[in-house]
Amino acid sequence: MAVGRPVVAYVLLFLAGCAAVPTADGERLRLASPEFRAYVERVFRDQNRVADALAFALEASGSNAELAAAEERLLAACAQVNELATARRDDTELGIRASVRAARTVPGCEEAARAAEAVLGRAGR
């Protein structure tokens, strides 16, 4: 069975390189492409900006259920994107399965950031 594990690992790496993820706008990007890396970076930065704005808006408003719910949804949707960013920053490997799983959450994170930004707009922030 020692031969089986390297073969499985190779197949997973190959599939990850060929797999495509649709962005929130419907564009399909290959996981191993420079375009996907740039997309992940953009989504990460956008969600950080929106999360900061939500935190400040919540602090200023005292208690706003809609803002709090938007923040909670954003944090949940972007947890694995943040995990990817942390691993990259710390120069650690998540493993191929965890990386692919996390990469597939990026469009949901992007959508949550857009929705949270809309809530901020309605709240006048």
Kindly state the DSSP code that residue 31 receives in the 8-state scheme: T
Residue 59 lies in a domain: yes
Measured between alpha carbons, how far is 24 from 6 in angstroms, rounded to an integer? 34
Distance CA 30, CA 87 (A): 20
pLDDT number for residue 110: 96
How many structural domains is the chain composed of? 1
Quote the pTM value.
0.78
Full residue range of the structural domain in which residue 37 is found: 33-122
3-state secondary structure of 3: coil
Q: Are 118 and 73 in contact (CB under 8 A)?
A: no
Tell whether the torsion through CA atoms of 88, 90, 95 and 101 is positive or negative: negative
CA distances from 54 to 10, 62, 106 (A): 42, 12, 19
Q: 22 by DSSP, 3-state: which?
A: strand
Give a yes or no: residue 12 inside a domain.
no
Query: Does 9 fall in a domain?
Result: no
Q: What is the number of residues in the chain?
A: 125
What is the mean pLDDT for each group of 10 consecutive residues in the chain (125 residues)?
44 53 86 88 95 93 88 96 87 83 92 96 80
Q: Which long-range contacts (CB under 8 A, 24 or more apart) does 68-74 make?
A: 70/115, 70/116, 70/119, 70/120, 71/116, 73/112, 73/115, 73/116, 74/47, 74/50, 74/109, 74/112, 74/113, 74/115, 74/116
